[in-house]
Amino acid sequence: MRKFLPFVALPLAALIAFSCSKSPSATTALDDADAGDDAGLDEVIDAGVPCEGAGIQKGPWVAGASLTSVIVRWETCRAGSPLGIHATTAGATARAVQGRETPFTLSLDHDAVLAPKAPKDYAGMVWTHEAVVDGLNAGTCGTYSLDGDATKTGAFCTLRAPTDELQFVAIGDTNPGLLRTGPLLPFGKTASFAPDFVIHLGDIQYYDSRLETWASWFPLMQPLLGLGGFFPVIGNHEFENPTDFPEFFMRFFASTGFKGTDRWHMFESAGIAFIILDTESPMDDASEQGIWMKSTLSALEARKNDADYRGAVVGFHKPFLTCGDTYDNAPLLALWEPRYIAAGVATVFAGHMHGYERFDHGGRPWVVTGGGGGAIRDPNQNMNRAYCNERTKGGAYYHLMRVHSEGTKLHMDAVDDTGTIIDAFDAPLLRGPKTP
């Protein structure tokens, strides 16, 4: 196993090589040295990626939020990089927040064979950083910058009280290496729309496209990551190789503090419950996730007359309803839809089918928002499915969703990669915001 040793232990030539560029050629040169006159040199090789300046190589992003705090994460390629952030909220001076770093050893190299200029993911040690901005009020928004590099910035919001309204973005199946995700991202924010967070419907990064790695994904996705919280569901492409899920997804996006588990959980903002599910795990009645879902939905149903509960949004990856080129799931639809309705679920988001679909089903919209940049497939391949006459809108659109609560409804705009609103509709909430 490759290990990191302090730079002071290195010969000067090696120090220059590691601090400026841990490119493949540098790695090869050092491996050659290891075989020759400096037998210990290989031990200092870490993740092998360029490690300049403060060494910040992924992020930052907001991985979690509560009513009083947010979690900011980023990754560096060396230990001892400046650990903190400065967070600024409206009317306040910038506040220094100390973070902590955790070393992590990546076990495999990954590259993008069709994009030779894309940075690789190298085996070796990296450092995950986390800073928690706490002591905030509900609905507090602000910005932050990393102390190690003030150009690394983003926005954050704590979760909101039931008296408030809410804005968020939904997007799925992003594959920025194909160059169709990037043009979408500027439309995640407008003069009148600044999302608190992004719900990603899964298939976040595609090693399988052979056009990207996590190292190339992060810089291309930073315009989205900087908008606010980044709260993804788990898709099938989070398991493209044995290390993808444990070494990347879990390290980046788990341990959020949300209610539930790292794979399925719930948080609540503006009186709206967001239920994040995992279609890569069993969802039947007797499964661990199914038992959690029943308990969660029952608890929400019991609050249907409460002024501080306005309804719920469900998000998962593989759609129960689709007329496109992927499987639907009638058994899970039959099992869970009545419970969704009983619990006051306003809308259901899925991804996986690379295109756009909206169904008016059971009195609420079911949306497939899988057009985040993965190669668009055929959204009409299975129009013979019985419920496809309920598909109000569908097509081969690259798009994201801008969603905001507005009194007794959630309003949603599906926006394509030219900024055109291709679909606009409402989902019914149980009630408007609670009276202060």
Judged by CB under 5 A, the stretch of 46-54, 73-81, 198-206, 377-385 that binds Fe ion is 198-206
CB of 276 to Fe ion, least distance (A): 16
Q: Residues in contact with Fe ion, total (CB under 5 A)?
A: 4
Q: Indicate which single residue of 142, 148, 235, 394 sits in contact with Fe ion (rule: CB under 5 A).
A: 235
The strand pair at 70-76 and 56-65 is best described as: antiparallel
245 forms part of the interface with Fe ion (CB under 5 A): no
What the block records as the tokens of 426 is: 């409402």
Cβ closest to Fe ion, residue 66 vs residue 174? 174
Cβ closest to Fe ion, residue 162 vs residue 235? 235
Judged by CB under 5 A, the stretch of 30-38, 197-205, 296-304, 413-421 that binds Fe ion is 197-205
The span from the CA of 234 to the CA of 243, in Å, is: 15
Q: Indicate which single residue of 19, 143, 153, 236 sits in contact with Fe ion (rule: CB under 5 A).
A: 236
The dihedral formed by the CA atoms of 319, 324, 328 and 334, expressed in degrees to the nearest 10: 80
- x/- track of binding to Fe ion for residues 387-416 (CB under 5 A): ------------------------------
- Nearest by Cα to 236 from 265, 287, 278, 272: 278
Query: What Å distances lie between residue 401 and 168, 342, 398, CA to CA?
Result: 8, 25, 11
Q: Which residues, other chains included, contact 381 with Cβ-Cβ below 8 Å and sequence gap of 6+? A: 323, 324, 325
The strand pair at 421-428 and 149-157 is best described as: unpaired
Cβ closest to Fe ion, residue 268 vs residue 280? 280
> Which residues in 343-382 contact Fe ion (CB under 5 A)?
352
Cβ closest to Fe ion, residue 38 vs residue 325? 325
CB of 348 to Fe ion, least distance (A): 16
The span from the CA of 161 to the CA of 164, in Å, is: 6
Cβ closest to Fe ion, residue 202 vs residue 394? 202
Cβ closest to Fe ion, residue 203 vs residue 278? 203
Residue nearest to Fe ion (CB): 352
203 forms part of the interface with Fe ion (CB under 5 A): yes
315 forms part of the interface with Fe ion (CB under 5 A): no
Cβ closest to Fe ion, residue 240 vs residue 306? 240
Q: What is the DSSP letter of 137?
A: P
What the block records as the tokens of 229 is: 């919280």
CB of 236 to Fe ion, least distance (A): 4
How many CA atoms lie less than 13 Å away from 41 in the CB half-sphere? Answer: 22
- Nearest by Cα to 133 from 70, 91, 67, 74: 70
Cβ closest to Fe ion, residue 43 vs residue 325? 325
Helix, strand, or coil here: 312? Answer: strand
Judged by CB under 5 A, the stretch of 7-15, 202-210, 297-305, 418-426 that binds Fe ion is 202-210
- Nearest by Cα to 430 from 296, 319, 270: 270
CB of 317 to Fe ion, least distance (A): 6
Helices (H), 233-391: 250-253, 288-301, 330-343
Binding site for Fe ion (CB under 5 A): 203, 235-236, 352
